[in-house]
Structure 1
Amino acid sequence: MTRVKHLLLALACGMALVPGVPAMAQQASVAEAEAAYRALAPQEAARAGDPQFDYQLGIAALDAGHYGEAIIALQRVLAVQPANAQARAELARAYALAGDIDTARAQFATVVDDPSLPDPVRQRFTGFVRQFDRQIAGGGSDLSGYLDARAGHDSNINAATDLTQVTIPLFSFLGPGTLGPGARAQEDEFYELTGGLSGVSAISRQDRVFGSVLGSWRDNFDTSAFDTASLTGTAGYAHSFANRDVLSLSAQAQRFWLDDAGYRNSYGAVAQYTRVLDGGRALTLSAQYNRLDFDGQPLLDADRFAVAVGFVTRDISATVQAGKEETTQAAGDAYSNLFANASLGGEWALSPQVAVQGGLAFDLRRYDAADALFLVERADERLDAQVGLKVRLTDALFFQPRATYTRNWSNIALYDYDRFTVSAGVRLEF
């Protein structure tokens, strides 16, 4: 009966290793286990080799987090008592907690083969073996996605100046020129639909392939000239190292539409290295290349190179990026530019049902050649701010009101503008 009791305890403790399975027995607190370990450890030199002592020492070390010492002590038990199923189950737990799931799987499988093992314990240990097999194979596959529908008001749908007249230096002798409606800020109500589907599949324990498709559609109520749509596809490969760091390589393509007509194609590649830190934090370093091809506007076609450093926690993410956008034709040099930007965003829970979302971003651009009309090299700085709420309606459905503000400063009046939006929508995550 004592043996079955020990096995059930090992079973209950082992269940905590499997995601989504609650432990059925509570281990001693870490402080109590540490005290027991400190009381037994000084006796190890004199009593090592005594199976009863080694078992007690192994359990105390295991519960106190001294996994290496626990493994050694429990191995001594099995050296003397190779049929001791409870010691082998605890050894499997120690290997699993230490991160060696291959050996943990082998030890649990050995326990399963013990003919005296009670059926309920055998069934659960068999479940552990399957779980470890899944982890060894890389974790299987996963598919997730979202749909977002919202409506709101935009003070400047075309990101244009509020001015009605602008003096063009090349034609200054003619005096100020009146801007047409498309070159002046226009406000309108809008609705917007966005959605995405992402998938990942393990091809080995450390290697995965992934892909995603993201789409958006925005329709302005009173004018279609600035309606937009986009479709983006990504496919890539990720490798996880023994220290949990991840290297990923991906290819990406995008089609962008303006006023229901094709406007731009973009395609390129991204390489990213992620350094995993404690406490749900990570550092990222990435390099990206994109080719931009504009329909019917060859002077805008460009190659875009960027490098970025990021830092993420459970609540916030921050990124700093810099790069170069170089037009493919010398005649388009006025559109070539150096850029740098920084962004900070986060989500903070106010309650289990409500979270605040917010973000700030700053973008700086310096253009290579003088504008043909304004006779100066364009220089822009842009500030973007966003704040909103995420209200949980169900486990998968959220209500999200949001406000955004953009201010773009430019030495060319035509590109100097501000813009704000307010919107509300629902988001379904699956």
Structure 2
Amino acid sequence: MKLLRVAGWVSVGLALAAGGAHAREPVNSGKAASQKSGVPAGLETAQRAGAESGKLSEIEAREQLLRDADALLKAGKPAEAYTLLEPFEFDRSGEVRFDYLLGIAALDSGKPDKATLAFERVLAVNPNFAGARLDLARAYYQLGDLPRARIEFEYVMKQNPPEAARVTIQKYLDAIAAYEQSQLTRISGYVEGVLGHDGNLNSGTNSPVAIASVSPVFAAMVTAFTGDANPQFHPSQLADNYYGINAGGEISRNLNDSWSVFAGANLRQRGNMSETIYDASSVDGRAGFAYGNEQSVYRLSLNGGQFYTGNSMRRDALGMSGEWQHVFSPAHQINAFVQYGQNRAAGSPPGAPATDARIEGNTDQTVIGAGWVHVMGDGKQALFGSIFAGKESAVAGRPDGKKKFEGVRVGGQAAFADEVDGFASLGWLHGAYSDQNFLFIAKRNEHQYDLTVGANWRLDTLWSVKPQLAFSKKSSNIALYSFERSDVSLTLRRDFR
């Protein structure tokens, strides 16, 4: 045994000696080189030692940052850990341990979007890092991206994780399955109460119109019967305060990951304080199906409704519509649509007002259009625009004949605060009729403009208040059809979902 110990020590001594010999050889070589270069050997040795010491200090500082962040996480201070690590993300992204700690800090401090980026970098370097994949699944879950969360949870489950991890993963998978099951059938609805003032509820003229400027023939007839050399149409504009009650709902059912069916209806009632003959109500419904994938949604629906004015049925409507929506990116979305509808006027007693339904008569209408939405980088502002065109056939022989029309609408929405959004839109519509009206000896040609501004104030997740101002103006070559109209309203809304 003593021999062994001696031999051991001898071996160690030999090793140390050999190490010393090897250690001295570079010094001797360096000394020769330093002599050739003119740098003193002692100074070069000191420089090398300083460089090595600087590298060790840098490594120690980088490791200390990670130790400090890990200690903060263990102490339950993820927000402080994220604040500590985040300034170094640009320089140290790609380091597995740094990115993993940054991801954990982001996830546990309520920044799942930042966490996914960090965990994805970890997995790009080490795809088999099960802990990072599990936490990536958690981040997707917090973001609400349940399909991707489920994929990552299932992947980790296949790697045979420890029992405690399996229990946690299964809880997440069960929660995802329960949510997806609840989303197979969705029901939503709303109720609104409205108070407002309409400055021209019958879209009438706001100043006298000389009959001769509209129809010389008709003016001559009036003059012959009345003896009035300059007969005029008196202003017909009526203003009134009003109240409204609206309600609606929709139910949809997912048939599978791509197909769904839906149905919905709306009820609207508007009563005027004085001009009750212009009270209006309507009921409309829709039913159809939709097909969707990650970027596009296609909808086809059957639409119908009945519209009343002055407590008598004014119009029946029946039609179909199709729409395509496509999301290019979170910031850009477009849509295209086509609509066909039949409008039939009915129930017009002699005392009923001359509403648009009676003036326009029975029509078949076709509309095509497209729209675009752009969401700003912070997600708090959005711009939108749409164009459309169509034609209207006069089924019952409207005096003005067929109508072709086209229009444009632009607008935007901005968040003034977490609970308040403002919105505004501007629209233009041009309509041209095919036949010369025998009474006015002219073909109607009209331009209409409208401006709407308002705000949505969310009192909580289900209650909201909407003040709104709307202004419209129609200019027609037949003065009787020209008007200006303003409407101020306040709406209280309760959503159900």
Quickly name the TM-score band, shorter chain normalised.
0.7 to 0.9
Are residues 205 and 127 of structure 1, via their aligned partners in 2, closer, same or farther at CA, if it must alter by over 3 Å? Answer: farther
Structure 1 residue 357: deviation in Å? Answer: 2.8
**1:20-419 alignment to 2 at 5 Å?**
35-36=91-92, 38=94, 65=117, 86=131, 89=134, 100=148, 103-110=151-158, 114=161, 116-118=162-164, 121-133=165-177, 139-165=183-209, 166-167=211-212, 168-174=215-221, 175=223, 176-179=230-233, 184-242=236-294, 244-295=295-346, 300-312=361-373, 313=375, 315-329=382-396, 331-332=397-398, 334-419=400-485
CA contact (8 A) 2:258 2:293 kept: yes
Query: Which amino acid in the other structure matches residue 194 of structure 1?
Result: N
Change over 3 Å in CA distance of 1:100–1:232 after alignment to 2: same
Separation of aligned partners in 2, 1:137 and 1:152 = 42
Contact kept? 1:71, 1:94, Cα under 8 Å: no
Percent identical pairs in the alignment equals 22
1:290-345: CA deviation from partner (whole Å, max 9, x where unpaired): 1112216698222211111111235343221111111224x326242111111223
1:356-381 CA-partner distances (Å, limit 9, x unpaired): 23221111101111123111110111
Partners in 2 of 1:298 and 1:107 — Cα distance? 66
Deviation at 1:392, TM superposition (A): 3.5
C-alpha distance in 2, partners of 1:227/1:277? 44
SS of the aligned residue for 2:438 comes to coil
Could you tell me whether the CA contact under 8 Å between 2:409 and 2:426 is conserved in 1? yes
Cα 1:423–1:103 change in 2 (3 A) is: closer
30-39 vs 403-412, greater mean Cα deviation? 30-39
Q: Could you list the per-position Cα deviations for residues 74-113 of structure 1 after superposition, in whole angstroms to 9, with x for gaps in the alignment?
A: 5556xxxxxxx647636866998896566435325446x7
Instruction: Give 1 or 2: higher helix fraction.
Output: 2
Instruction: Work out the CA distance in 2 between the residues paired with 1:203 and 1:30.
Output: 44
Change (3 A) 1:424 1:95: closer
SS at match of 1:406: strand
Stretches of structure 2 lacking an aligned partner (at least 5 in a row): 1-69, 105-113, 224-229, 348-357, 376-380
Aligned residue pairs, count: 385
In 2, the alpha carbon distance for the partners of 1:248 and 1:429 equals: 24
Structure number with greater Rg is: 2
The offset of 1:274, in angstroms, is 0.9
Change (3 A) 1:258 1:177: farther
TM (norm. structure 2) is: 0.66
CA distance in 1, matches of 2:171, 2:263: 30
Per-residue deviation, 1:170: 3.3
Alignment check: 8 A CA contact 2:191 2:248 kept: yes
Flag the 1:366–1:127 CA change in 2: closer, same or farther, 3 A.
farther
Q: Distance in 2 between matches of 1:298 and 1:354?
A: 41
| Amino acid corresponding to residue 474 of structure 2 in structure 1 | N
Gaps in structure 1 of 5+ consecutive residues: 1-5, 13-21, 41-51, 78-84
For 2:337, the aligned partner's letter is S
Residue by residue over 1:171-191, the C-alpha shift from the partner in whole angstroms, topping out at 9 and shown as x without a partner, is 2323454547xx811111111
| Distance in 2 of aligned mates of 1:221 and 1:298 | 25
Is the 1:105–1:132 contact (alpha carbons within 8 Å) kept by the matching residues of 2? no
